[in-house]
Structure 1
Amino acid sequence: MRRATFRDQTVDYAAVGASQAADLLQYPPENSIPAVQRWRIGSGEERFRSASDTLLSWTVLTGAGLEVTDVRPSAGPSYTGVSFDGEGHPVAPARHDEDQRFTPDGIAYVSAGATAHVHGRARGKKANGDYRVIFVAEEPRRTAYALGTVDATIVSGEVLFSVDWRDDDEVWFEVRAFDIPVAWSYRAWRGRVRRRRRLLNTAYLRAISPLFA
């Protein structure tokens, strides 16, 4: 059952920001199942800009079949999110917005510290939980953000979405995640966690790739 006070809570797992770790697959957070998948989704600046907007407008989730509701920016101006470099050292956020951006439907764009409720089905797999945006990065050739569970009902953990415009002009989409089973059926059969993640990631790819437009 969803808690009405979840916005005052921290995330419900310990390894905040671990989805960014270069060795996530080798050394995942305790009791978690890691996953890293990446796909080439085009080339050029226009493709990068379009995919970045798909990320930050929540369309990578809604286009996958999920519903994002009750989006609220961070209540405190001091919250900047958590981000780390390749060696695990914290780094400052890449961008500060003075004015909050909104989708045509009036939903606030992704911002560090924001909270949202995500529910529905993507590729037949159910999602239902409250999330906090761990960090947002908007750089000249990379856009990324991570979501962490606040009050998980199926799996706890973190998922990171990123779009990279590489030096060879190719644009790549990557999903990095670690899932800790919460629901009894997933704790009993951990293979279901892996299958769920694969199907969700495929749905996210379909939402962002022009091949499926």
Structure 2
Amino acid sequence: MSAETPGPRRSNYSSMPVAYAAIGASSAPDLLRFPPAESTPYEETLQLGSGTERFLTAANLLMTWGAQRVAGVEVVDIDPGEPSEYPGVHFTETGTPELGAAREELFTPEGEAYLLAGTTASFVVGSKDPRRILVVTTVNESNRLGFAWGDRDEVAGYGEQQLTVEIREDSTVWAVARGFTFQSSTGITAGLKQRAHVKEAVAQAQAFLQALAPGAALRNGVAKPADEPDENDQSADDQPSA
């Protein structure tokens, strides 16, 4: 990806599924160096523990909206859409964006379906207006699972955020949030407002990562996921199935 990455200007096509042109840019390897024009990028990481058990449990939680729900965000109006409506995007090893392949359905051990690219939903926090989002891409790799969502409307601080869980070569498990926000106002206060929007996006990302940590659901008064393992249990029965 280069510094000329398209910015927040609307596409000329009426079918533009989100409020910005740089769809999928949260997945770009050089996001922090070359974010979409007029946007501010961010990246947050959190170690969740170690081992395959922890990786699979966190991934199952993440891919069923668990990070949002445990963090206090209500996910409503979920619509997986049709495979032909939006295939999602991904980046090649050289950083080139391409349309995604056919959507692969995965399930938790309890039979709950993983979310898919093209899914639309709304995030609701307290009395705030619902935030309409689109799952723009999913990540399905042997050592990394996750998804990215983007705003469908030009709300304050609109942009895109990717959330992933990965297990590294040393067996440590990490949750990663990467994203960018656009300046949604002009004038002498625009800079202050943009900094506030970025601060809010980072705080939300941190909350989502914390929600994937061991015991977060119980600490936040959310029912324990059915596949949450005992920390001393070394079985690997929660492998997602295709």
Query: Matched residue of 1:75: which SS?
Result: coil
- Alpha carbons of 1:179 and 1:39: their partners in 2 closer, same or farther (altered >3 Å)? same
Q: 1:176 to 1:94 in 2, by over 3 A?
A: farther
- The one-character-per-residue Cα deviations of 1:23-59 (angstroms, maximum 9, x if unpaired) are 2111111111100111211111110101101111101
The structure that has the greater radius of gyration is: 2
Give, in whole Å, the separation in 2 of the partners of 1:193 and 1:178: 10
The correspondence of residues 21-60 of structure 1 with structure 2, limited to 5 A, is 21-60=28-67
1:180, CA displacement in angstroms? Answer: 0.8
- Relative contact order, CA 8 A, sep 6+: which one is greater? 1
Of 174, 177, 190 in structure 1, the residue corresponding to residue 176 of structure 2 is: 174
By how many angstroms is 1:194 displaced? Answer: 2.5
Shift of 1:107: 8.4
Match of 2:116 in 1: 111
Given the alignment of the two structures, is residue 204 of structure 1 paired with residue 208 of structure 2, yes or no?
Answer: yes
CA contact (8 A) 1:128 1:154 kept: no
**Superposition RMSD on alpha carbons, in Å?**
3.0
Distance change (3 Å), C-alpha of 1:93 and 1:44: farther
Distance change (3 Å), C-alpha of 1:127 and 1:49: farther
* Contact 1:129/1:152 (<8 A) preserved: no
1:191 matched residue in structure 2: 195
CA distance in 2 between partners of 1:153 and 1:108 (Å):
29
> Is the Cα–Cα contact under 8 Å of residues 130 and 149 in structure 1 kept in the other structure?
yes
User: Once the 2 structures are TM-superposed, how far is the Cα of residue 181 of structure 1 from its aligned partner?
Assistant: 3.0
TM-score of the two chains, using structure 2 as the length reference: 0.73
What's the secondary structure of 2:207's corresponding residue? helix
Cα contact 1:127–1:154 (8 A) shared by 2: no
Structure 1, gaps ≥5 residues long: 1-7
The equivalent of 2:104 in structure 1 is: 96
Do the aligned residues in 2 keep the contact of 1:159 with 1:178 (CA within 8 Å)? yes
Q: In structure 2, how many angstroms separate the alpha carbons of the residues matched to 1:79 and 1:150?
A: 14
The letter for the 2-side match of 1:146 is A
Question: Is the 8 Å Cα contact of residues 46 and 176 (structure 2) preserved in structure 1?
Answer: yes
Q: Secondary structure at the match of 2:166?
A: strand
Q: In the superposition, relative to structure 1, how do residues 156 and 194 fare at CA in structure 2: closer, same or farther (>3 Å)? A: closer
Structure 1 residue aligned with 2:157: 155
Are the counterparts in 1 of residues 46 and 210 from structure 2 also a CA contact under 8 Å?
no
Q: Which runs of 5+ in 2 are unaligned?
A: 1-14, 219-242
* TM-score where L is the length of structure 1: 0.82
Q: Number of aligned pairs?
A: 200
Identity between Structure 1 and Structure 2 (%): 33
Instruction: Looking at secondary structure, tell me which structure has more strand per residue.
Output: 1
- Answering whether residue 149 of structure 2 is matched by residue 141 of structure 1, we say no
Shift of 1:198: 2.4
SS in 2 for 1:38: strand
